């Protein structure tokens, strides 16, 4: 289902459109050559052929255990759930073994070379059960974010529409 996020470009927060990706049956979607933005926003809708994985985000191709994060939310059956991770190779975008999901995340200090990067957002997974979550995390790196990779941990091919916005 195509989603139009063009209204984000006119938001009061003065977000600047950087790039979009429309992955189609690929393992990851990537944004590269990112520079100069204090804050980044990733908004999208992605799907997968697998219900066994979670959608994730990584920065600067860092696959080490340099991410802390988790999520808390509620399933369609109103059961509260907390998923926490002390150390991981990525940050969760959507959870619950979903075949598709929508998300919106903001990344603080994206261009800083002196502090870790805070990631906060929300997601809705459309699987069994449906699951809405508040996601959070930290990328424990002082490197400026220059690239973003999004994929499915199963791994399986992803499809969808993803938008990257920036703010100074």
In this predicted model, what pLDDT tens digit does every residue of 141-153 receive, in sequence order? 999 999 999 887 7
- Within a domain: 10: no
CATH label of the domain that carries residue 28: 2.60.120
Residue 159 near residue 24, CB atoms below 8 Å:
yes
The residues that bridge with 84 in the sheet, in sequence order, are 70
Determine the average pLDDT of the residues in 124-135: 73
Report the percentage of the chain scoring pLDDT > 70. 74
Cis peptide before 129 (omega within 30 of 0): yes
Residue 107 pLDDT exceeds 60: yes
Report d(CA 75, CA 66) in Å as an integer: 28
Q: Report pTM.
A: 0.83
Report d(CA 96, CA 61) in Å as an integer: 24
- For the ranges 38-52, 58-72, 74-88, 106-120, which has the lowest average pLDDT? 74-88
Residue 58 near residue 90, CB atoms below 8 Å:
yes
- Within a domain: 8: no
- Within a domain: 81: yes
- Within a domain: 68: yes
Q: Residue 107 belongs to what domain range? A: 20-118+127-167
Q: How many domains does the chain have?
A: 1
pLDDT of residue 1: 44
Does the CA dihedral 1-163-67-131 come out positive or negative? negative
- Within a domain: 3: no
Residue 102 near residue 124, CB atoms below 8 Å:
yes
Determine the average pLDDT of the residues in 55-73: 87
Determine the average pLDDT of the residues in 94-105: 71
- Within a domain: 9: no
Higher pLDDT, 132 or 139: 139
- Within a domain: 15: no
- Within a domain: 4: no
């Amino acid at each position: 289902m195509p989603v139009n996020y063009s209204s984000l470009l006119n938001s009061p927060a003065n977000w600047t459109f950087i790039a979009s990706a429309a992955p189609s049956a690929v393992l990851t979607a990537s944004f590269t050559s990112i520079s100069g933005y204090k804050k980044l926003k990733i908004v999208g809708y992605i799907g997968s052929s697998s219900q066994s994985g979670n959608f994730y985000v990584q920065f600067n191709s860092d696959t080490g255990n340099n991410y802390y994060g988790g999520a808390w939310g509620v399933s369609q059956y109103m059961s509260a759930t907390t998923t926490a991770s002390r150390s991981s190779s990525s940050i969760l975008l959507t959870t619950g073994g979903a075949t598709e999901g929508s998300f919106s995340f903001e990344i603080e200090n994206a261009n800083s070379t002196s502090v870790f990067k805070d990631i906060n957002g929300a997601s809705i997974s459309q699987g069994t059960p449906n699951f809405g979550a508040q996601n959070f995390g930290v990328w424990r790196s002082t490197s400026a974010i220059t690239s973003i990779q999004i994929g499915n941990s199963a791994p399986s091919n992803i499809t969808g529409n993803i938008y990257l916005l920036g703010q100074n």
